[in-house]
């Protein structure tokens, strides 16, 4: 099973801690301290197993059209005017614990800019989450500009970015991971979108499921 880039240190630290505490627990096994240490070690081994599943990074068959950036449930589809994209359609995907948390490129393009904003760690489904820590990626391509916003949540405390400015990427390429969360917003240029192929409540997989069709 492939582990997502930027997450191996968490897995190794929990495993090594569990192993060390297990060894120490045998020294004190005849006392109550030994049993407490043994229980802590057991919990850390469980945490290691959780990390192995949570930070998995499976290969994907890349879909047609514009594809999902994140695994999860579509929670918002809105038409609006954005400062970067102009008139656009915003599609928000919320990730749960069981989802793969690696985010992927929605369409071929060149990375025009990557901007990190510090902020809060409020639940991603709240309106106030607009103040949360985030990474804003502007992509330049054949249909104009696409904006991808990775948003941290209550548990998500770090956004790991895999890409750099001026990188030329293909649809489905990995762009980063939000460790332990949470939400990704995609802004698509309104005039270039023929049809939105998802609706609120749909579950999608990053790189695999089509979320929109492009005007020919």
Active site residues: 182
From residue 64, how far is each of 38, 68, 72 by CA, in Å? 51, 10, 18
CB burial string 146-169: b at 16+ within 10 A, e below: bbbbbbbbbebeebbebbeeeeeb
How far is 211 from 69, CA to CA, in rounded Å? 9
How far is 47 from 82, CA to CA, in rounded Å? 41
Measuring CA to CA, which residue among 99, 10, 16, 106 is closest to residue 57?
A: 99
How far is 135 from 150, CA to CA, in rounded Å? 5
């Amino acid at each position: 099973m492939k582990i997502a880039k930027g997450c191996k240190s968490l897995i190794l630290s929990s495993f090594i801690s569990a192993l060390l505490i297990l060894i120490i627990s045998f020294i004190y096994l005849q006392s109550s301290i030994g049993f407490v240490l043994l229980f802590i070690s057991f919990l850390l081994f469980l945490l290691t197993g959780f990390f192995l599943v949570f930070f998995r990074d499976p290969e994907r068959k890349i879909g047609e059209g514009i594809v999902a950036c994140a695994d999860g449930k579509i929670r918002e589809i809105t038409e609006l005017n954005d400062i970067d994209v102009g008139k656009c359609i915003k599609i928000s995907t919320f990730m749960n614990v069981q989802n793969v948390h690696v985010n992927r490129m929605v369409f071929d393009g060149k990375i025009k800019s990557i901007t990190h904003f510090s902020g809060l760690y409020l639940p991603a489904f709240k309106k106030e989450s607009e103040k949360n820590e985030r990474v804003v990626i502007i992509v330049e391509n054949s249909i104009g500009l696409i904006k991808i916003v990775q948003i941290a949540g209550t548990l998500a405390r770090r956004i790991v970015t895999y890409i750099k400015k001026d990188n030329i990427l293909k649809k489905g390429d990995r762009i980063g991971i939000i460790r332990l969360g949470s939400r990704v917003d995609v802004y698509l240029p309104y005039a270039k979108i023929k049809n939105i192929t998802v609706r609120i409540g749909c579950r999608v997989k990053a790189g695999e499921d089509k979320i929109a069709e492009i005007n020919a």
